[in-house]
Structure 1
Amino acid sequence: MTIARTRIGSSELEIAPLALGGNVFGWTADRDASFGVLDAFVAGGGDFIDTADGYSHWAPGNGGGESERLIGEWVRDRGARDRVVVATKVSTHPEFSGLSAANVRAAADASLERLGTDRIDLYYAHFDDAETPLAETVAAFSELVDAGKVRAIGVSNYTAERIDEWFRIAREGGYHLPVALQPHYNLMERDFETNGLRDAAEREGLSVFPYFSLAKGFLAGKYRDAMDVNSASASPRAEDAAAYLDARGLAVLAGLDQLAELHRVPVAAISLAWLRQQPTVAAPIASARNTDQLPALLDSLEVELSRAELDLLSAASTDADR
């Protein structure tokens, strides 16, 4: 299979159009499971890994940085640094909170150490920091590019207005511009289309990498009733996914089931293909806590939905008030 590659914004980074989410590494996936998923992802044609310095500080016994460290160990063990593109983020690690210039610099160095590399391919401002002047943050990220520690800049969880402000500051100051945007976006969460973020991405040429692409497992078809949500094999996010179990969610699942049968792929592959084919989206982000979950994600790379199929799913996921 030949996988069409996509460029991240105006950067020199090229990837297969599927990002492997690293949030589960060191949380619901231990070292062996994480290594197995990473091995299978690359063997299946993937090459873009997304993580953050804060993953997964929320888990008992963790302090943050577990995901980065496991990815770094895998990269070193497999000699894979030049075969993968690694994205990470700053602002949520308990020891490196916020986006002050000093924190951004220190957090980047800590991420480089955990990842065992000399450069971060794509570095995101994970969450906006209202306590720090945006000009300070913009300059700090640009300086990391100048220093060779970061190849490209991204923003995550920013409003359209703050993205516009970032670009204004960067242009006026002669700083490096962001090339990527990471928003919450999937078939069940479509505010991205109307809240100005997609317009900003189109205006600035940002490559979009949606997180929660499978709506916490709901769009993989894992949760169809209360029994699925409460089963022993359910993920820690099952209760959140259960919020989608309404008439609209069931309509989406029915559409997904129809197309999954037609294309002979799992439901998750159809969900990811729909998202990948939306305007401005370069690659959806999806995670797998074991190798059994990975084939459905990789199958999405081979699915190309027709305009009628895209419209079918879009209509099913549009409630009466939209």
Structure 2
Amino acid sequence: MRYRTIGQDPATRREVSVLSLGAMRFGTSTDEATSFAILDRYAEAGGTFIDTSNNYAFWVDGTQGGESEELLGRWRRSRGVGVGITIATKLGARPNTPTSTFSHDIEGLSATVIRESAERSRERLGVDRLDLLYAHVEDRDVPVTETVEAFAGLVADGTAGLLGVSNHWAWRVERARNVAAAAGLPGYEVLQYHHSYLRRRTDLPTLRSADGELGAVAGDLLSYVRDEPSLTLVAYSPLLGGAYTRGDKPLDPGLDHAGTPARLEALRAVSKETGATPNQVVLSWLIGGEIPVIPLVGASSVAQLEESLAAVDLDLTPEQRARLDEAR
């Protein structure tokens, strides 16, 4: 396994594996025995960066979420997991009532919600401090200063470490970081967004959730991270739900444009040259790029996880990387 340091403050920064494991379906569609087996193998391989949320996975069984955090808490206790494993969680998108569909009726990012939801996440995970806490989706009904101060309050009292943000427009991330910096408060240091090798169309809305249109990785966000090396970019859904390798998984309409066939052709050529799967090439491309990205992968079996773990040791040549980058 390979590792990188995220965060700047010695009191909160973490050394994490360059491959993160998503626990979104653990405890719901992925049963406990299988979830534990995947987590055990990930830890055995040196993986130290696990991702969850307080709303996972409400859509599976019509709850408000929390099943994933609860399972991770049970796994931690049964395995005696300590500070060597970084568990990231999110708040802000938990539905206010049980539901099986995405809704606009979510908790949001008020000071009260941040304080109370963080406490419940700590209880479910069985930890004294949340290693990394994200604002999951935008809340335009709450002043940004209130949200920034509430997150900083958790850091000040030792119940949260690093702060992160997901699914916000880049200009809103910058606004929040400026507010925090002006007040001498800790701000967002980790950005979690949908990102993969294929590029999305720019003439369509990016991504949508209960909170409306969301910013996904595009040129503005990449240039922002390039100019702010203190930031870490974590890429969720980097393998497009299996669409790179499975014929029964069609590409999202946002990827339907003239550049996609060329990039798929380059990806398949590099895959053939290296003897690696297209998924492994995508993960290696993200990890070792000019802007290093930590891919966040899901797995419903140990075999799926093994494929992703092998990508960590795949080193693309400069020529192969150039061919992937330049494909239009």
TM over 0.5: yes
Unaligned ranges ≥5, structure 2: 97-105, 203-215
For 1:82, what is the secondary structure of its paired residue?
A: coil
How many angstroms does 1:139 deviate by? 0.3
Matched, 1:60 2:61: yes
Give a deviation string over 1:192-230, Cα, whole Å, max 9, x none: 6644212222333211001111112213x123xxxxx1x
- Contact 1:68-1:111 within 8 A present in 2 as well: yes
Give a deviation string over 1:124-177, Cα, whole Å, max 9, x none: 001111000000000000010011111110111111211111111101111112
- Contact 1:145-1:151 within 8 A present in 2 as well: yes
Matched, 1:217 2:227: no
Determine which structure has the larger helix proportion and give its number. Answer: 1
1:214 alignment partner AA: L
| Among candidates 302, 308, 325, match of residue 291 of structure 1 | 302
For 1:103, what is the secondary structure of its paired residue?
A: helix
For 2:65, what is the secondary structure of its paired residue?
A: coil
Q: Which moved more, 1:39-48 or 1:245-254?
A: 245-254
Aligned counterparts of 1:65 and 1:130: Cα–Cα separation in 2: 24
- After superposition, the Cα gap between the structure-2 partners of 1:41 and 1:305, relative to the gap in structure 1 and judged at 3 Å, is same
Matched, 1:81 2:82: yes
Aligned counterparts of 1:313 and 1:186: Cα–Cα separation in 2: 12
Aligned counterparts of 2:222 and 2:261: Cα–Cα separation in 1: 26
Unaligned ranges ≥5, structure 1: 224-228, 230-237
Aligned counterparts of 1:102 and 1:209: Cα–Cα separation in 2: 27
- Contact 2:7-2:162 within 8 A present in 1 as well: no
Percent identity of paired positions between Structure 1 and Structure 2: 33
2:139 alignment partner AA: D
Q: 1:200 aligns to what?
A: 224
Give a deviation string over 1:5-40, Cα, whole Å, max 9, x none: 201131420011011011121333111111111111
2:280 alignment partner AA: A
| Among candidates 139, 143, 146, match of residue 156 of structure 2 | 146
Aligned counterparts of 2:251 and 2:32: Cα–Cα separation in 1: 26
1:17 alignment partner AA: V
Aligned counterparts of 2:277 and 2:268: Cα–Cα separation in 1: 8
- Contact 1:50-1:87 within 8 A present in 2 as well: yes
How many angstroms does 1:251 deviate by? 4.1
Aligned counterparts of 2:290 and 2:176: Cα–Cα separation in 1: 22
Aligned counterparts of 1:269 and 1:50: Cα–Cα separation in 2: 20
- Contact 2:52-2:90 within 8 A present in 1 as well: yes
TM-score, normalised via structure 1 length: 0.86
The alignment of Structure 1 onto Structure 2 pairs a total of residues equal to 301
Determine which structure has the larger strand proportion and give its number. Answer: 2
How many angstroms does 1:243 deviate by? 7.2
Give a deviation string over 1:33-56, Cα, whole Å, max 9, x none: 111111111112211001111111
| Among candidates 296, 304, 307, match of residue 315 of structure 2 | 304
For 1:155, what is the secondary structure of its paired residue?
A: strand
Query: 1:242-321 residue pairs with structure 2 within 5 A?
Result: 248-316=259-327, 318=328
- Contact 2:194-2:217 within 8 A present in 1 as well: no
- After superposition, the Cα gap between the structure-2 partners of 1:243 and 1:143, relative to the gap in structure 1 and judged at 3 Å, is closer
- After superposition, the Cα gap between the structure-2 partners of 1:249 and 1:24, relative to the gap in structure 1 and judged at 3 Å, is farther
- Contact 1:188-1:215 within 8 A present in 2 as well: no
For 1:210, what is the secondary structure of its paired residue?
A: strand
